[in-house]
Each structure stands twice: as structure tokens, then as C-alpha cells.
């Protein structure tokens, strides 16, 4: 048989793709999004805590934050997911039964928190010290000054980096398949891989890849767009909300579904 | 407006590591009076100002409002009684002009949205910028930004106002408007400490002028005494450079 044709059919067998498509749409895509978005929210909440601890004057907050960041940023994602997902499984079994999801999300959140914490920290530190001084001079406590004045400004500056982290999470969520998922829990990659393993044809996996691209490529363009807008400023609209009115942990700017 | 109070600094010392920035400063400002602090860069003027509202804590000495030491007070509560205006304005760039003023009114004074906005507009009107309420600080000139910063401080109804080289970052043609506003405030009986390089302002507006050098007040007195018959050679040298 023509080797080129074989190669083509290995990746672009429409029939295999069509077969896998419904499950990808109804099972894989929602699961991938649940994993990535939940981990992004949890990771951002933890990340803010880490960032604030990381710039604290107390070394008892600073050092643990440092170690946490180094560990979860330094370990391969696969190792963290296995260590947490398998290592804590007996504990998880007692709390929520034989469901690998919570531990998978926890592991992804821990990884994300390390990166997001560093992003937030740099954002907070990029806000001029005089802003803190001005807020304190008005009578705001340190915490309120951070919350109302410093963090809202820092967040804006790190939005592009934060969206990049979301992209990384979407991709890393595929690693949760290590933990052994029920059929209904499979995310995009696992479904593609299952079809590929059953048929010996890679087309379903390629389809999964296309799904990932459909999620991540638009996000990279969102990053670029935000970046441009931050660089060139935006026209004053008068009535836009002044601070994002952040509840302290979480909600880092419009990522709610 | 809340009644302004008298202010006294007694033997204030402050060091950053081995660098002794303040080495025993005394300063008295009567209720409703304006004191201008002049002196070369690095003499400790701005540091001194920050010990008044305890953005910096003195190592030694005392700060008194109305004759009572404030060093034991809650610093956040103390700062609500003392307004401060900075060289670089330090408006919050992510908020409208109005929100810059209402933020502390709502979150610290716990005023309602409408009440805070009304008070903010009143103070914007006072500094002649009522029309700019919805603008972002970045769309204002330096002079306008500084007037908003003054309105922001005044809206908290302070008993003392501190000005840290409030006109040093302004284009020359914008200096006058801000100085006029400060002179106005002074004439209305606000107790003010003004760190400035504007000798004309010090001469015209101040009740007391204090000359600082190397962390101490070398000479203080009425403007006429300082500018016409300075005693200390260091002050004479300084004046001959700047006048």
C-alpha cells in the first residue's frame, strides 16, 4: 500500500474522527474545562495568598511561600499529579469515595498556584511604593490598601501572564488521566487516546489535539489583545468600574464561567 | 470642616540603619498656622513630614497634636486626622477622579455612596475641577492632578495638612494655581506643614519658616526674620543660592 496514503489515514481518518466526536463534545470538552477552570480559580486564590505571603515582612510567611513555590514549580507536572493523586488517594477515598477528580484538581491547583503566585507577586511589586504610601496616608490599613489600591492595579498588569497560565492549565489537565478515570470522567486527551488505542489509528487523538488548539489559540490572541490594550491604554469611558472590587482570594478578573 | 489643631514635634530622631536622617528636630505650629520647611535636598524635610502622620515611626522624641502625644494612638486612626499631599500626586490611576475621593470616604468614613459622592463633588468644586469628576487621573494635567489630590485629602476633613514638595513635579505654568489653592487653605485656618522650594510662597503665606539642614532645624522664625535677617551662616548661604 502507498506509504503516504497510510500515513494520511493514520492521522486523518474522517470516519474515526466522526466516531469520537460526540463523546469529545459531550464528555471530553466539559471535563477538560471543569478541570482547567476549577484549578485556575483555586490556583489563583492560593496564588494571591502566596504572593502576599511572599512579600510579607515576616519570614514565617515569606519562607514557606518560597518553599511552596520552588517545590511546585520545580517538580514535573506529571510527578506532582501522581504523587498527590496516588499518594493521597487513601485519604481521598474516605472523604469523597473513589473519585480521582478532586485530587487531580488539587494537584493542578497546587502547580498553578506556584506559577500564579509568582505572577501576582511581580504584579504587586510593579505597583509604585508611593501608591501604598498614599493609601496608608488616607488612613487605610495595610490590608485594605493592598485590596483596594495595590492589588487591583497589579492584577491589570499581569492579566496576560495569567491567561498564559490558564493555557498551561488546559494542557496540563490532560495529565489527570494518570489517575484512572471512569468513562464519564474522561477529558479530551483520554478519549482521544482510548479511541487511538482501540483502533490503532491516531485520528481521534489528532481530533483531541484540534480541540485543545480551539481552546488555546483564541486565548493566546486574547493575551495579545489585552497586552496591546494595556500598552496603549484605553479611552476613558467614565463609568467603568474603578476597582475590580476583588473579594480577596480568587476572581482574578473575569474568569468566572 | 473639623477644627484644626496645633502640632508640635519634640526632639524627633530617626535613622535608616546607620544613616541618621533626623537628629533631634523641634517644630511648633500653632492651631490654624502654616509652617514652611525649607532646606537643601537630603536635609530630612520629607522624612520629618512622614513622622507627623507616622508613615515613619520616630526612633526617639514625640509628636503632639493639640498638646497630646499621638505616638500611642492607632496609626490608621491618626492618619485619618492628617491629610497629606505628595510631590508625585499619587492619585490612584485605576479609578476615576471622583472615586479617588470617595474611596476613603466610603471605606474608612463608612459614608453611603451618594453622601460620599456629594461630599467629593463639593471638594472638587472647591478646587475648581467639578467638571473632571469622571475623568481618569492620566487625562488630567499635573496641576489638575495635584488639585484633585488636595481635594482627596480635604474631603477626609483633616485637622492638619502636610504638603511634601507639592509643586516640585509641576510644569512652571501650573505651579501658581496649586500654590494659590494652598494659600487659600492656609488663610481659612487649616494647620499646615509645607515642605517647599517655593521661597515666595514661604515668605507670603507662612507664619513660621523652619530651615533644616542635615537632620536638624538650624533656624526657625517668622518669614521676615528668616528671609531678611538670617542668623545662621548655613541659612545665609542657602538663601543666597536660591533667591
Q: B108: which chain A residues are within 8 Å (Cβ-Cβ)?
A: 138-140
Judged against a pLDDT cut of 70, whether residue A236 lies above it is answered with no
Nearest to B104 among A133, A138, A239 (CB): A138
| Alpha carbon distance A67, A80 (integer Å) | 15
Indicate whether B168 belongs to any domain.
yes
pLDDT of residue A247: 35
Q: Are A56 and A62 in contact (CB under 8 A)?
A: yes
State how far the alpha carbon of A159 is from the alpha carbons of A228, A230, A257, B68, B72, in Å. Answer: 12, 9, 17, 48, 42
- State mean pLDDT over A45-56: 92
Q: What residues form DSSP beta bridges with B194?
A: B36, B163
Q: How far is B105 from chain A (nearest CA, A)?
A: 10
- Write phi, then psi, for B208 (nearest 5 degrees): -135, 140
The residues near A177 (Cβ < 8 Å, ≥ 6 apart) are: A186, A187, A189, A190, A193
Question: Is the model's pLDDT at A239 over the cut of 60?
Answer: no
Q: A148 in contact with B at a CB cutoff of 8 Å? A: yes
CB contact under 8 A, A137 and B94: no
Locate the chain A residue with the closest alpha carbon to B49: A137
Q: What single-letter DSSP state applies at residue B171?
A: -
Q: Tell me the chain B residues in contact with residue A238 when contact means C-beta distances shorter than 8 Å.
A: 96, 134-135
pLDDT of res. A13: 87
Q: Kindly report, residue by residue over A123-148, the tens digit of the pLDDT.
A: 989 999 999 999 999 999 999 999 99
Q: Which residues of A touch B96 (CB under 8 A)?
A: 238, 242
Tens digits of per-residue pLDDT, B72-121? 999 999 999 999 999 999 999 999 999 999 999 999 999 999 999 999 99
Element (H, E) at B28: strand B19-29
What pLDDT does residue A1 have?
Answer: 64
d(C-alpha B20, C-alpha A142), whole Å: 26
For range A188-193, the mean pLDDT: 92
What is the mean pLDDT of the segment spanning B43-56? 96
- Number of structural domains chain B divides into: 1
Residue of A nearest to B76 (CA): A139
Q: How far is B24 from chain A (nearest CA, A)?
A: 24
Whether residue B194 is contained in a domain is answered as yes
Query: What are B91's three cell numbers?
Result: 492619585
Distance CA B242, CA B237 (A): 9
Q: What is the pLDDT of residues A80-102, one digit of tens each?
A: 999 999 888 888 888 887 788 89
Residue B105 in 3-state DSSP? helix
pLDDT of B2: 66
Instruction: Determine, yes or no, domain membership for B111.
Output: no
Strand duo B60-65 + B34-38: pairing: unpaired
pLDDT tens sequence across B112-164? 999 999 999 999 999 999 999 999 999 999 999 999 999 999 999 999 999 99
C-alpha cell of residue A189? 486527551
Q: How far apart are CA B162 and CA B85, in angstroms?
A: 6
Distance to chain B for A134, nearest Cα, Å: 6
Measured CA to CA, the distance from residue A132 to residue A128 in angstroms comes to 7
Residue A238: the pLDDT is 41
Residues A93, A88: Cα–Cα separation, whole Å: 9
Q: Write down the pTM of the prediction.
A: 0.78
* Residue B73, in any domain of the structure: yes
Interface list for B 155-184 with A (CB within 8 A): 156
> Please, which residues 180-239 of chain B have a Cβ atom closer than 8 Å to chain A?
none
pLDDT value of position A235: 46
B207 domain-assigned: yes
CB B44 within 8 A of CB B215: yes
Q: Which residues pair with B85 in a beta bridge?
A: B163
B86 touches chain A (CB under 8 A): yes
Kindly report which listed range (A32-36, A91-95, A104-108, B96-100) carries the lowest average pLDDT score.
Answer: A91-95
Beta bridge mates, B28: B8
Q: Which residue of B has its CA nearest to A150?
A: B92
Residue A88 CB partners (closer than 8 Å, separation 6+): A103, A106
Residue B43: which domain range?
7-90+160-240
- pLDDT category at A232 given cuts 50, 70, 90 is low
Domain ranges of chain A: 3-247
ipTM: 0.93
Q: What is the pLDDT of residue B3?
A: 84
Task: Give the one of A134, A233, A236 whose C-beta lies nearest to B90's C-beta.
Answer: A134
Domain A3-247 matching CATH 3.40.50.300: the answer reads: no
Show Cβ contacts of residue A201 under 8 Å, excluding neighbours closer than 6 positions. Answer: A9, A10, A13, A16, A195
C-beta of residue A228 within 8 angstroms of C-beta of residue B80: no
Task: Provide the 8-state DSSP code for B108.
Answer: T
Q: What does pLDDT average to over chain A?
A: 86
Interface test with B, best of A124, A128, A139 (most B CBs within 10 A): A139
**CA nearest neighbour of A47 among A101, A110, A137:** A110
pLDDT for position A7: 87
| CA separation, residue A13 to residues A26, A29, A192, A199, B117 (Å) | 21, 21, 13, 11, 65
Residues 101-160 of B with CB under 8 A from A: 103-104, 107-108, 134-136, 138-139, 152-153, 156
CA–CA gap between residue B85 and residue B147 (Å, rounded): 9
Instruction: Please give the grid coordinates belonging to residue B33.
Output: 498656622
In a domain, B146, yes or no: no
Kindly give, in sequence order, each residue whose CB lies less than 8 Å from that of residue B125, ignoring residues fewer than 6 positions away: none
Is B174 contained in some domain? Answer: yes
A157 touches chain B (CB under 8 A): no
Backbone φ, ψ for residue A223 (5° rounding) = -55, -50
A237: pLDDT strictly greater than 80: no
| Grid coordinates of A27 | 464528555
Q: How many CB pairs below 8 Å do chains A and B form together?
A: 71
Of A137, A138, A243, the CB nearest to B95: A243
Q: Is residue B155 one of the residues assigned to a domain?
A: no
CATH code for position B168:
3.40.50.300
Crossing angle (nearest 10°) for helices A101-126 and A151-172: 150
State the angle between helix axes of B142-155 and B113-126 in degrees (0 to 180), rounded to the nearest 10.
Answer: 130
Confidence of residue A44 (pLDDT cuts 50, 70, 90): very high
Amino acid at each position: 500500500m502507498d506509504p503516504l496514503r497510510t500515513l494520511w489515514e493514520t492521522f486523518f481518518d474522517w470516519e474515526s474522527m466522526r466516531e469520537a466526536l460526540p463523546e469529545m463534545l459531550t464528555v471530553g470538552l466539559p471535563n477538560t474545562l471543569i478541570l482547567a477552570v476549577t484549578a485556575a480559580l483555586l490556583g489563583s486564590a492560593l496564588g494571591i495568598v502566596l504572593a502576599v505571603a511572599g512579600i510579607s515582612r515576616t519570614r514565617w510567611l515569606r519562607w514557606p511561600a518560597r518553599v511552596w513555590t520552588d517545590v511546585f514549580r520545580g517538580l514535573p507536572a506529571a510527578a506532582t499529579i501522581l504523587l498527590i493523586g496516588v499518594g493521597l488517594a487513601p485519604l481521598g477515598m474516605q472523604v469523597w469515595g473513589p473519585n480521582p477528580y478532586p485530587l487531580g484538581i488539587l494537584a493542578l491547583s497546587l502547580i498553578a498556584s506556584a506559577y500564579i503566585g509568582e505572577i501576582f507577586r511581580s504584579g504587586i511589586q510593579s505597583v509604585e511604593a508611593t501608591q501604598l504610601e498614599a493609601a496608608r496616608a488616607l488612613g487605610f490599613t495595610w490590608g485594605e490598601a493592598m485590596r483596594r489600591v495595590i492589588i487591583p492595579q497589579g492584577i491589570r498588569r499581569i492579566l496576560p501572564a495569567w491567561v498564559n497560565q490558564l493555557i498551561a492549565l488546559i494542557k496540563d489537565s490532560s495529565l489527570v488521566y494518570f489517575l484512572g478515570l471512569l468513562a464519564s470522567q474522561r477529558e479530551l486527551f483520554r478519549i482521544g487516546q482510548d479511541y487511538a488505542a482501540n483502533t490503532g489509528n491516531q485520528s481521534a487523538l489528532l481530533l483531541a489535539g484540534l480541540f485543545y488548539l480551539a481552546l488555546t489559540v483564541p486565548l493566546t490572541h486574547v493575551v495579545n489583545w489585552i497586552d496591546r490594550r494595556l500598552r496603549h491604554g484605553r479611552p476613558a469611558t467614565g463609568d467603568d468600574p474603578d476597582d475590580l472590587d476583588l473579594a480577596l482570594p480568587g476572581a482574578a478578573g473575569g474568569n468566572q464561567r | 470642616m473639623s477644627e484644626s489643631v496645633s502640632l508640635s514635634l519634640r526632639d524627633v530622631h530617626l535613622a535608616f540603619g546607620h544613616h541618621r536622617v533626623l537628629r533631634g528636630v523641634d517644630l511648633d505650629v500653632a492651631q490654624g498656622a502654616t509652617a514652611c520647611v525649607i532646606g537643601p535636598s537630603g536635609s530630612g524635610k520629607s522624612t520629618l513630614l512622614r513622622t507627623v502622620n507616622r508613615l515613619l515611626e520616630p526612633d526617639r522624641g514625640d509628636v503632639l497634636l493639640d498638646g497630646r502625644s499621638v505616638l500611642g494612638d492607632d496609626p490608621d486612626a491618626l492618619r485619618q486626622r492628617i491629610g497629606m499631599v505628595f510631590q508625585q500626586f499619587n492619585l490612584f490611576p485605576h479609578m476615576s477622579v471622583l472615586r479617588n475621593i470617595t474611596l476613603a470616604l466610603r471605606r474608612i468614613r463608612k459614608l453611603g455612596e451618594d453622601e460620599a459622592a456629594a461630599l467629593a463633588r463639593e471638594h472638587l468644586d472647591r478646587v475648581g475641577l467639578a467638571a473632571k469628576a469622571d475623568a481618569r487621573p492620566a487625562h488630567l494635567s499635573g496641576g489638575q492632578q495635584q488639585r484633585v489630590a488636595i481635594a482627596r485629602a480635604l474631603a477626609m476633613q483633616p485637622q492638619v495638612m502636610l504638603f511634601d514638595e507639592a509643586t516640585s513635579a509641576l510644569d512652571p505654568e501650573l505651579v501658581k494655581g496649586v500654590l494659590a489653592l494652598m494659600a487659600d487653605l492656609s488663610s481659612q485656618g487649616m494647620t499646615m506643614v509645607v515642605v517647599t522650594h517655593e521661597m515666595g510662597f514661604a515668605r507670603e503665606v507662612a507664619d513660621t519658616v523652619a530651615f533644616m539642614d542635615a537632620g536638624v532645624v538650624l533656624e526657625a522664625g517668622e518669614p521676615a526674620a528668616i528671609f531678611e535677617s538670617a542668623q545662621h551662616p548655613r541659612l545665609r548661604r542657602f538663601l543666597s543660592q536660591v533667591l
